[in-house]
Amino acid sequence: MRPLHLFVLCSALGLVACSPSDPRQSASASLANDMLLPAYQAWASASAQLPVSAQALCATPQPADNALPQARQDLQTAQRSWAALQPLQLGPLSEGNRAWQVQFWPDKKNLVRRQVENLIDQHPALSRAQLERASVVVQGLSAYEYLLFDSQLDLARPADRQRYCALLGHIAGHQQQLSAQILAELQGEQGFLKHLQQFPNTRFAEADEALAELLRAQVNGLDLLKKKLGTAIGKLSKGIPQPLQAEFWRSQASLDSLAAAVHSAEQLWQGQADQGIASLLDDTQQPLRQRIDQAYADIRQQLAALQQPLDKLLSNDAGRAQLDALYVSLDRLHRLQERDLAGALGIQLGFNAHDGD
C-alpha cells in the first residue's frame, strides 16, 4: 500500500498510531529484527554447544567413540555461524577488538600453533583466568581448530587429551561467554538493535545514518572475503597460492565459511519480505538492483560448482581457474555495492576497516 493511501485509510479509521513510515526506517528495523538478531542468536547457540562437546571429549577415563567427531562437527557449526556475521559486524562486535577474540586471521607466521604450544608449556595446568589474560591468538576458533584438526594432534590419544583438554575447555567457555554477552548487549534497552529501529536516538540521528552503518558493514565484509580468498589463491602474493593462509584451512572449511558469509550478505541485501537494502532503490535504479542480484546469483552458482576443498582446487589448473573466476565475481559484487549502490542511495561509506591489511 502506498504511503498516501495508507494515510487516508488511517485518517478514516481514526487510528492515530497508524501513520506512513519512512521506508529507510522500515528497512533498518526489519533488518535488525529479521536478519541481524537471528544471525547473532545462531552464533550464540552454536558457541554454547562447544563446552558440551569439549567436556564430552575430555571425559575420563575414556570418551565415547563419537566424542571427537562430535566436537569437530560442533566447531564447524560455530565456524559457519561466525562466518555469517562477517558482513554483520556491527555494534558491540565491532568494538574493543572482540572479533579478534573469535578468529585470528591472517596467521602469516603460524602464530596459532606457536602461541598455543608456548601457553601450555608455560601453564601445564592452565586455568580459565590464565587464558583470559593471554593473547587473542589462543582464545578463539582458530586455536580451537588447531586443537581439533591439526595433523600433528589427535585428541583421541590420552596423552594429547591430557596436554590440551584444559585449553580446549577454556576456549569453549570463552566463546560461549563472549557470544552470549554480545547478544545481550545487542538486545538491551539501549542496545544496537533498538538504535536501528527508532530515530533519532543516542547513536543515530536518522535512518540514513543507520543504513550507512549496515551498508558499511556489508561492504567491509565483502572486502574481507575477497582478501581472504585472494590471499589463499595468490591474488595478493604475486600469483603464488598461499593455501595455509586460507580461513579455517586445517578443517578444510574455507569455502564453506565463504559461502555462509556470502549468503548472509545477500540476506542483508534482500531482507525479509523485500525489506532489505535492495528495497530502497527506486524505479529508475532497478537496473542496478538487477546487476547486484545477478552478481549474487553468479557467486552462488560458482560456489555450488566447487566440489573439492580449496587446497585440492589449488592443486590443478581447472580448480585454480574456478577459484580465479570466483575471486573476480566477488570483486565485481564488492565494487557494485561499495561504489554504485552507495552512490545511488546517497550514502557516504567513509573509512574501510580493512584498508591497510
Neighbours of 103 (CB within 10 A): 22
Measure the CA–CA gap between 36 and 23, rounded to whole angstroms: 18
Share of the chain above pLDDT 70, in %: 92
pLDDT at residue number 21: 72
Among 87, 345, 34, 32, smallest CA distance to 212 is for: 345
In contact, 142 and 107? CB cutoff 8 Å? yes
Cα-to-chain-centroid distance, residue 20:
34
Closest CA to 288 of 239, 329, 335, 347: 335
Collapsing DSSP states into helix, strand and coil, what is residue 121? helix
pLDDT tens for 51-91 read 999 999 999 888 999 999 999 999 999 999 999 999 999 99
Is 50 exceeded by the pLDDT of residue 2? Answer: no
At residue 22, the 3 state secondary structure works out as coil
Give burial (CB, 10 Å; 0-12/13-18/19+) of 129. exposed
Averaged pLDDT, 223-230: 96
Q: Where would I find the H helices in the chain?
A: 3-13, 23-31, 37-57, 67-83, 98-102, 111-122, 128-133, 141-149, 158-187, 192-195, 207-233, 254-270, 286-305, 310-313, 317-335, 342-345
Query: Mean pLDDT over residues 125-134, rounded?
Result: 97
CATH class of 26-195: mainly alpha
Cβ(333)–Cβ(295) under 8 Å? Answer: yes
From the CB of residue 61, how many other CB atoms can be counted at a distance below 10 Å?
5
Sign of CA dihedral 125, 127, 133, 139: positive
Q: Where are the domains of the chain?
A: 26-195, 207-345
Query: Residue 326 above 90 pLDDT?
Result: yes
Tell me: pLDDT of 42 over 80.
yes
Give the pLDDT of residue 237.
81
In this prediction, residue 351 has a pLDDT band, given cuts at 50, 70 and 90, of low
CB atoms within 10 A of CB 340: 14
Q: Cell numbers 529501529 correspond to what residue?
A: 197
In whole angstroms, what is the distance from residue 154 CA to residue 159 CA?
9
Report, as an integer, the average pLDDT of 185-206: 94
Average pLDDT, whole number, for the chain?
92
* 90-115 average pLDDT score: 95
The Cα–Cα gap between 332 and 107 comes to: 27
Looking at per-residue pLDDT, the higher value among 123 and 9 belongs to 123
At 14 the pLDDT is 39
- pLDDT surpassing 50 at residue 133: yes
322: cell is: 574456478
Is 118 buried (19+), middle (13-18) or exposed (0-12) by CB count in 10 A? middle
- CA-atom Rg of the chain in angstroms: 22
Residue 11 has pLDDT above 60, yes or no: no
The answer to whether 92 and 98 have CB atoms below 8 angstroms apart is: yes
The residue-averaged pLDDT of 281-306 equals 98
Residue 43, pLDDT above cutoff 80: yes
pLDDT band at residue 25 under the 50/70/90 scheme: very high
Q: Distances from the Cα of 87 to the Cαs of 106, 149, 205, in angstroms?
A: 17, 26, 23
Task: Indicate if the alpha-carbon torsion angle 251, 256, 258, 264 is positive or negative.
Answer: negative
pLDDT of residue 224 exceeding 70, the answer is yes
Q: Average pLDDT in the 20-34 region?
A: 90
Residues contacting 271, CB < 8 A, separation 6+: 27, 30, 31, 34, 35, 277, 278, 279
Rounded distance between C-alpha atoms, residue 322 and residue 123, angstroms: 45
Burial label for 71, CB within 10 Å (0-12, 13-18, 19+), is: buried
CA 229, 235, 236, 239 dihedral sign is positive
Closest by CA to 278, choosing from 340, 349, 357, is 340
Whole-prediction pTM value? 0.91
